[in-house]
A and B are shown apart, each in its own frame.
Chain A
Amino acid sequence: MDISTEQIDSTTVVRMSGNLDTNTSAPAHAKLDSLIEDGNTHLLVNLRQVGFVSSAGLRILLATAKRLNGTDGSLKISNLNETVNEVFEISGFNSILNVFSTEEDALKDG
């Protein structure tokens, strides 16, 4: 799992690459936590390069969303491939997380 970040206005775009699964979720979670601790409270996780997300991945996205909801921060997620989208639909996560089809759409959304 490779993670790169880019600051666009007030949003920190987090681009993940690899699979978000049992093994990669812990380091990904640590990365998201450290970003929040550094004061980046508006996160956009771009999953364009992510092949699949398992429930372990959902768990860290949920934990991050919960953490940011407690502050005035926000978590957005974009660029889900077909399988990831299905995982979100089946689990109902597409209705409880802020999901966008592209990074641009997510950034436009105020």
Chain B
Amino acid sequence: MNQAQSRSPLPRETFTLGSIPLVESCSVLEARRKIHSLASLVAGDSLLSTRLATVVSEVGKALQRLNQNARIEVGLCTKGNLPRLQLDFVGQLDSRSLGYLNSFFDHLEKDSGTGGLFHRVNVELTTSGVNRATLARLREIVEQKTRDQLLEEIQSKNSELEESLETLKRTRSAKDRMESELNIGRDIQMSMLPLSFPAFPEQGEFDVHAALYPAQEVGGDFYDMFMIDLDHFCFCVGDVSGKGVPAALFMAVTKTLIKSRAANDLSPASILSHVNSESAEGNDSAMFVTLFLAILNLHSGEMVYSNAGHNPPYLMRSNGEMERLENRHGPVIGAMEGIAYGEDSTVLAPADMLYLYTDGVTEAMDIAGSLYGEERLRERLRGADYPAAKDAVEDTVDDVWRYQGDASQADDITIMSVRYHGPVTREGETELTLRMHNDITAIAGVNDDFCRFAEQHGIPAAVQRRMNVCLDELLNNIVSYGYCDEAASDAHEIELHFRLLDSELVVTIIDDGKPFNPFGNDPPDTCLSVEERPIGGLGVHLVKNFMDKVHYERHGENNVVTLHKHLDQEQEA
């Protein structure tokens, strides 16, 4: 579909967006989240989306409790003057939730379609800006998979494997059997890896290459790489203890846990802590995995990483120096529950390259049985000047093959290399960087500068003012409560980045105050009367409501707050 088509208005009809199954109580939460995102995207009205989400959560709970095959069918109807979001709650409802629906929606249709009885509500949207691109995004939201669904998929993959296992059981000799099991394990292992390179040709900020050469017998290496969002590239290399089918399945689960967690978590420490707890729980076979995981901020070059018992990678700086990222942040993954992993960060300059590997490289043996070794690898890398990630992988692997000669490969060999090129200004992207001292009177100036930027780039006035409120709240917080030293009121600097990409405004606020997550508190009670009402926390509540997405992370000595706001939904408001 070309750009013009995707922007043109939709024909007047009803579009199916998808179906959200309500099979267990956690899927109600998931449904709530999806409906909230849908409504925020098309309505841009945070009150409406919050209200809708609450209704979905309340009614969804009853629906799920009372029906075997409960689900919410979601559609978008463009027949009237304004588009409508159409929600069909499929299944029987009790009188309490019916009353609930009736109190929120004027017209509650009850009908039985092919799928059975449903209750339909129509939510009129105060926007006409729904085009094919929006439709595609809406469908994406509805179809988004939860972690459980991903795990389920793996399970179904497993059932395919059962067939192979049947064959395996029938094989005659023990030797044949072992060989087939190893083959199956290897098939699973290889089917889990991203194998097509260049992997992210549209990302000019970096290039990445990886290769895995499975050993004949032992081996449980894996790697993965994916974009978390436009700015964050996540990659990891690991080595599962054991071999064959059990190790391959453990790897599959670990990989899935990592990916689903990273979708909403930009901290490698937090991702590893989570993955460890999940995989350690009920891990009777005592399998474990060594893992190095990093998230590279493509805009700033900052790479945050956490190492769980894996070989420390090498960092080849563009000036020819080489470092080893020696820090260990916790034990291997899956061995013990409840471990809090740590993380470190370093900033990559353009042309810096990271080189990750598994012990199959350094433990490769020549025909006489002596190891390739750490020293040989280090010298190989030190003497090289690789123009691309691919060259580093290929050159070192060739060197290992040469060393190994006619000896057999003892263990899996995995190498990944990531080369940072620096930030890239994408087509249609504009940005503004502002700095202010920790002086309360400087806030107005920041707001003025932002308004000028907003006007230049056609950001709607309503978004401008909302952003003004958010900046006033967050900057006031930082300046008033962020610093505990007695230094002069202008001793600290706060940095702000405004980026406009396609139709999204992304604002990053960086301060060196004491660690504080402004979004960590509970929302205030907005139902209290004038006399009872305390004020604190309200500002942040406003920010959360005005923005599509807010995020906090502590990076070294800095608090980093990121705000996301889509402009599409505002144009008609």
Residues of chain A having any CB pair with chain B under 8 Å: 19, 21-23, 51-56, 58-59, 62, 65-66, 69, 81-83, 86-87, 89-92, 96-97
Interface contact B440-A58, CB-CB below 8 Å: no
Interface contact A89-B469, CB-CB below 8 Å: no
**Contact of B541 (CB < 8 Å), options: A56, A83, A86, A90:** A90
Q: A21-B443, A90-B541 are in contact. Are A83 and B469 (CB under 8 A)?
A: yes
B interface residues with partner A (beta carbon < 8 Å): 46-47, 440-441, 443-444, 447, 462, 465-466, 468-469, 472-473, 475-476, 526-531, 533, 535, 538-539, 541-542, 545-546, 573
Q: Is the interface of A mostly helix, strand, loop or mixed?
A: helix
Shortest beta-carbon distance from B353 to chain A in Å = 45
A71–B466 CA distance with the chains assembled, in angstroms: 35
Q: Is the CB of B542 within 8 A of A91?
A: yes
In the bound assembly, the distance between CA atoms of A52 and B47 in angstroms comes to: 18
Chain A residues, CB < 8 A from B472: 19, 21-22, 52, 54, 56
Known A62-B535, A96-B529; contact A55-B468, beta-carbon cutoff 8 A:
no
Interchain residue pairs A-B with the least CB separation, the first 9: A92-B526, A55-B539, A83-B465, A54-B472, A22-B476, A21-B472, A52-B465, A90-B545, A55-B538
Contact B535 A89 (CB under 8 A): no
CB distance from B316 to the nearest CB of A (A): 47
Task: Report the Cα distance A86→B467, complex, angstroms.
Answer: 13
**Which of B441, B475, B538 lies at the interface centre, i.e. has the most chain A CB atoms within 10 A of its CB?**
B538
Can you pick out 25 interface pairs between chain A and chain B where the beta carbons lie within 8 Å of each other?
A21-B468, A21-B472, A22-B440, A23-B441, A52-B469, A54-B472, A54-B542, A55-B473, A55-B535, A56-B472, A58-B535, A66-B531, A69-B530, A81-B465, A83-B466, A86-B546, A87-B542, A90-B526, A90-B541, A91-B538, A92-B526, A92-B527, A96-B530, A96-B533, A97-B530
* A51 and B465 contacting across the interface, CB-CB below 8 Å: yes
Given A54-B539, A62-B530: A83 touches B46 (CB 8 Å cut-off): no
Contacts known (A51-B465, A82-B462, A90-B541); A66 close to B530, Cβ less than 8 A? yes
Q: Contact check: which of B469, B528, B530 meets A54 at CB < 8 Å?
A: B469
Assess whether A89 is in contact with B47, with CB atoms less than 8 Å apart.
yes
Given A23-B441, A53-B469, A91 contacting B526 (CB threshold 8 A): yes
A58-B535, A58-B538, A69-B531 given; 8 more Cβ-contact pairs under 8 Å: A52-B468, A52-B469, A56-B472, A69-B530, A90-B542, A91-B541, A92-B526, A92-B527
- Complex contacts, A92 vs chain B, CB 8 Å: 526-528
Bound CA–CA A102/B529 (angstroms): 24
For A22, list chain B residues within 8 Å (CB).
Answer: 440, 443, 472, 475-476
* Cβ of A63 to closest chain B Cβ, rounded Å: 9
Indicate if the CB atoms of A83 and B542 lie closer than 8 Å: no
Query: Which residues of A lie under 8 Å from residue B440 when comparing CB positions?
Result: 22-23
Residues of B within 8 A of A51 (CB): 465, 468
- Complex Cα distance A60/B465, Å? 20
From the candidates A56, A66, A82, A90, name the one contacting B46 in the complex (CB within 8 A): A90
Contact of A19 with B447 at beta-carbon distance under 8 Å, contacts A56-B472, A83-B462 already known: yes
Interfacial chain B residues near A56, Cβ < 8 Å: 472, 476, 539
Of B443, B462, B526, B527, most A-chain CB atoms within 10 Å: B526
Task: Identify which of A52, A55, A66, A86 gathers the most chain B CB atoms within 10 Å of its CB.
Answer: A55
Q: List, in ascending order, chain A residues with CB within 8 A of B46's CB.
A: 90
Select from chain B the residue with minimum beta-carbon distance to A93: B526
Residue of A nearest to B466 (CB): A83
In angstroms, how far is the closest chain A Cβ from the Cβ of B392?
51
Chain B residues within an 8 Å CB radius of A89: 47
Determine whether the beta carbon of B526 is less than 8 Å from that of A23.
no
Q: Is the CB of B462 within 8 A of A23?
A: no
A30 and B158 alpha carbons, distance in the complex (Å): 71
Q: A19-B468, A54-B469, A90-B542 are in contact. Are A65 and B444 (CB under 8 A)?
A: no
Q: What is the bound-complex CA distance between A81 and B464, given in angstroms?
A: 13
Name B466's contact: one of A62, A86, A97 (CB within 8 Å). Answer: A86
Residues of the A chain whose Cβ atoms lie less than 8 Å from the Cβ of B468: 19, 21, 51-52, 54
In the assembled complex, the Cα of A56 lies from the Cα of B546 at a distance in Å of 16
Bound Cα distance A66, B530 (Å): 7
B119 to chain A, nearest CB (A): 28
CB of A23 within 8 A of CB of B542, answer: no
- Closest-CB distance, B441 to chain A (whole angstroms): 6
Residues of B within 8 A of A96 (CB): 528-530, 533
Q: Which residues of A contact B462 (CB under 8 A)?
A: 82-83
A residues within 8 A CB of B538? 55, 58, 91
Closest residue of chain B to A70 (Cβ to Cβ) is B531
CA distance A66 to B533 in the complex (A): 10
